[in-house]
């Protein structure tokens, strides 16, 4: 049984109130936050208003998230609640409206419990690039939780929230899910509205959920998925009932194992744990087939040309004039731009803006950005070809175990390589999910399932079957004494 259903059963029996549920999670936040720093904002006045709003609703079956707390990555707009993108340039920004996903969550009775930490503007793989300090991995407080949605993943791992939203541009949901031992889903590009998501790379960004149990993930995905006319990249697709696919047999499914994503650069300790996961899949009656995705070796450079180019364009709006941080000591417009942006952005964001501006500049556009978009098409075609032979594709989510804080932050290339197994999915626009598959030295390891466009129901079906045999949903970190 999922956490949502457990709480709702207690509501139905009148054994607990909405306020008591929220207070329980706030207590968990109070206990864990001094150690992990998963949240940037927990506004008690805002939460009080949310509790009263939900208490005024009559609990019924349509309110699928009634009285359920949800933690939100701090690059998703929340009306009346700070949205900083973990950047000094937006340190005091309070949005005038809710993102579409927030509107849908509230409509179904959810309560926004707080805004979670991230790499600044979602640019990073460790949640160390936050202007407000890093988030720490609750399984080992000297290690990173992954990024960029590290705060949301940690909130689930510690029990500070039963549900969370993140965003995934190159693995930013799946990689922290893997590093913290929770489930994270990156939906098909265009399935979930990006209206109100602060843009990093518009052709790659996608909002998705975190949870401990597949059932809970299916419920929140049902709420946030579906067409939104306010988002020009939203696709006119009516999602199925995702709960209907849970519990169905996966016997006879063909799952592809791409040699390119299992051999190069994957640590032996990761492969060792995932070997047991492959045995579980065979026990489920799945046929594992070796396949090839030859163009994925070009995914990393392709991604870092496209993503930085789009970031350069998107972040041009932070000029120190309309909103956000402004240096008040400048006498002319150009110096105001330069100094405000120079002081407001962190080093990784600046690096990506510079790289993207260069790739888009006259004389280099064809050689870099245009060529990258052509290679992106080849990568997508590789996946489409593979899905004609297999139902799903699997790989490790991350090639390495959670690494130590500070270990890679000074070496950008070393950091970028962490996303080598997740980036191809974003370039292709397809959905993927990371599920906990085991532990090595008490550090979590995730298995990534990838599917064709709009195959979220299949990903949930296989994940549910897998979780029944390899269930880590009740396993909590205990690195802090007394918790």
Active site (catalytic) residues: 73, 148, 172
Q: How many CB atoms sit inside 10 A of residue 367's CB?
A: 11
Q: Which two tokens stand for residue 395?
A: 């790989």
Cβ-Cβ contacts under 8 Å for 82 (sequence gap 6 or more)? 40, 41, 43, 74, 92, 93, 94, 115
Question: Cα–Cα distance between 265 and 182 in angstroms, integer?
Answer: 23
Return the HEC string of 163-175.
EEEEEECCCCCHH
Strand order in the sheet with 443-450: 39-41, 111-116, 69-73, 163-168, 206-211, 183-186, 432-440, 443-450, 392-396, 254-258, 287-291
What Å distances lie between residue 286 and 252, 255, 270, 391, 436, CA to CA? 5, 7, 21, 10, 18
Q: Is 298 buried (19+), middle (13-18) or exposed (0-12) by CB count in 10 A?
A: middle
Cis preceding-peptide flag for 300 (omega within 30 of 0): no
The rounded distance, in Å, linking the Cα atoms of 345 and 357 is: 15
User: What angle (nearest 5°) sits at the alpha carbon of residue 250, between those of residues 246 and 253?
Assistant: 140
Name the token pair of 88: 């000094």
- DSSP three-state, residue 129: coil
Per the DSSP assignment, residues forming a β-bridge with 251 are: none
- Cβ neighbours of 180 (radius 10 Å): 32
Cα–Cα distance for residue pair 311/394, rounded to 1 Å? 29
> 292, 306 in Cβ contact below 8 A?
no
Q: Which sign, positive or negative, has the C-alpha torsion 417, 387, 207, 143?
A: negative
């Amino acid at each position: 049984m999922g956490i949502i259903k457990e709480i709702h059963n207690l509501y139905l029996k009148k054994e607990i109130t909405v306020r008591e549920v929220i207070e329980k999670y706030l207590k968990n936040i109070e206990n864990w936050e001094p150690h992990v720093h998963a949240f940037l904002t927990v506004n008690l006045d805002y939460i009080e208003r949310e509790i009263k709003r939900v208490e005024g609703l009559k609990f019924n079956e349509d309110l699928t998230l009634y009285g359920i707390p949800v933690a939100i990555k701090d690059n998703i707009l929340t009306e009346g609640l700070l949205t900083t993108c973990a950047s000094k340039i937006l340190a005091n920004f309070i949005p005038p409206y809710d993102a579409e996903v927030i509107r849908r969550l509230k409509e179904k009775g959810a309560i926004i419990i707080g805004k979670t930490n991230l790499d600044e503007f979602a640019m990073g793989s460790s949640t160390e690039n936050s202007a407000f300090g890093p988030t720490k991995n609750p399984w080992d407080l000297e290690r990173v939780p992954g990024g960029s949605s590290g705060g949301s993943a940690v909130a689930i791992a510690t029990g500070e929230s039963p549900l969370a939203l993140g965003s995934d541009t190159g693995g930013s949901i799946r990689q922290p899910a893997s590093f913290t031992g929770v489930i994270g889903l990156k939906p098909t590009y265009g399935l979930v509205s990006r209206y109100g998501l602060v843009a990093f790379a518009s052709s790659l960004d996608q909002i998705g959920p975190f949870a401990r149990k597949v059932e809970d993930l299916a419920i929140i995905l049902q709420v946030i998925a579906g067409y939104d006319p306010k988002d020009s990249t939203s696709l006119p697709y009516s999602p199925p009932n995702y709960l209907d696919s849970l519990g169905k047999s996966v016997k006879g499914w063909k799952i592809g194992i791409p040699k390119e994503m299992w051999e190069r650069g994957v640590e032996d300790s990761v492969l060792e744990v995932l070997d047991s996961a492959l045995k579980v899949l065979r026990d489920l009656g799945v046929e594992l087939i070796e396949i090839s995705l030859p163009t994925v070796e070009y995914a990393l450079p392709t991604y870092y040309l496209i993503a930085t180019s789009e970031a350069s364009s998107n972040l041009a709006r932070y000029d120190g004039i309309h909103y956000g941080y402004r240096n008040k000591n400048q006498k002319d417009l150009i110096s105001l731009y330069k100094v405000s942006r120079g002081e407001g952005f962190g080093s990784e964001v600046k690096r990506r803006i510079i790289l993207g501006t260069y790739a888009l500049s006259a004389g280099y556009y064809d050689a870099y950005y245009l060529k990258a978009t052509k290679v992106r098409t080849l990568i997508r075609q590789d996946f489409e070809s593979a899905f004609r032979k297999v139902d799903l594709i699997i790989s490790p989510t991350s090639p390495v175990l959670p690494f130590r804080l500070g270990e890679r932050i000074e070496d950008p290339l070393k950091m970028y390589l962490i996303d080598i197994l997740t980036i191809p999915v974003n370039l292709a626009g397809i959905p993927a999910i990371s599920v906990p598959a085991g532990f090595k030295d008490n550090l979590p390891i995730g298995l990534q399932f990838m599917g064709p466009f709009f195959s979220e129901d299949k990903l949930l079906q296989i994940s549910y079957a897998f979780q029944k045999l390899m269930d880590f949903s009740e396993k909590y970190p205990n690195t802090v004494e007394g918790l």
